[in-house]
Amino acid sequence: MHRLYGLIGYPLEHSFSMQYFNAKFKQEGISATYKNFELKHLDDLTNVLQQHNDLCGFNVTMPYKQAIIPLLSDLDSSAQNVGAVNTIKVSNKGLIGYNTDVFGFEKLWNDNIKTKIHSAVILGNGGATKAVANVLKSKNISFSIASRNPKMPNHISYSQIWSGDNPFQVIINTTPVGMHPFCDDIPPIDTSKINDSHIVIDLIYNPSQTKFLQIAKSQGAKTINGLQMLVYQAEKAWNIWNEG
């Protein structure tokens, strides 16, 4: 039986998921198709499900990783722990939510960072932020979350990033700032203070080198983009869709 998978979010022109999965299906001889379902409003998901009764599972990206939770029948422990969903399995019990971003980010971290890290700052406060924070907590790394309107105890404004006595070793961008097609944009932090003592991670993978990463690299920082995380979380999603 031919199976259908997909991605919901808005906008989706930056995403490589469709390209990745369809190449995988072709290479491995899998009878399946992966489509993008660009939804301006999450309410439109009902129409997608009604029109595509062969949809077996789908990924969720910005801005719906948290908003979709009330529409689900159940949450896996991975999604419960993070409070965000990026993978959904369509089952006879309804829509089951999972989070594979945690798995993907932890693998990316373990593959690339071998030194002892004690402090990090996360740029942004969306669904991906929660997955990154979950991984940092599990590694006992102290972190702050920088956002435009900080409201929680460990949240700071972008202007406060460099004001502490204990500067952050790792800077992680979880925002869409700098994503295709807005490739000249950078997060609103003072990049002049980035140097060879820093590791800068940008979860964006299109373009492969955001302007933010280019600046950081030119100033001696170790830089990592989000492509590995995409691959790891995609393979984890594939396993979820095909288990049991």
- Positions annotated as catalytic residues are 65
Paired strand residues for 106? none
- Token reading at 46: 């009902």
What is d(CA 117, CA 106) in angstroms, rounded to the nearest whole number? 14
The answer to whether the CB of 110 falls within 8 A of the CB of 138 is no
Q: What letter represents residue 90's amino acid? A: V
* Residue burial 70-108, b: 16+ Cβ < 10 Å; e: rest: ebbeebbebbebbbbbbbbbbeeeebbbbbbbbbbbbbb
Please name the residue ranges forming H helices in the chain: 17-28, 45-51, 77-82, 101-112, 127-138, 211-218, 227-242
- CB-based burial label for 145 (10 Å; 0-12, 13-18, 19+): buried
What is d(CA 178, CA 200) in angstroms, rounded to the nearest whole number? 14
Cα–chain center distance at 112: 17
- Token reading at 173: 């961008």
Looking from the CA of 232 toward its CB, the CA atoms found within 13 Å total: 18
The residue to which tokens 């979380």 are assigned: 233
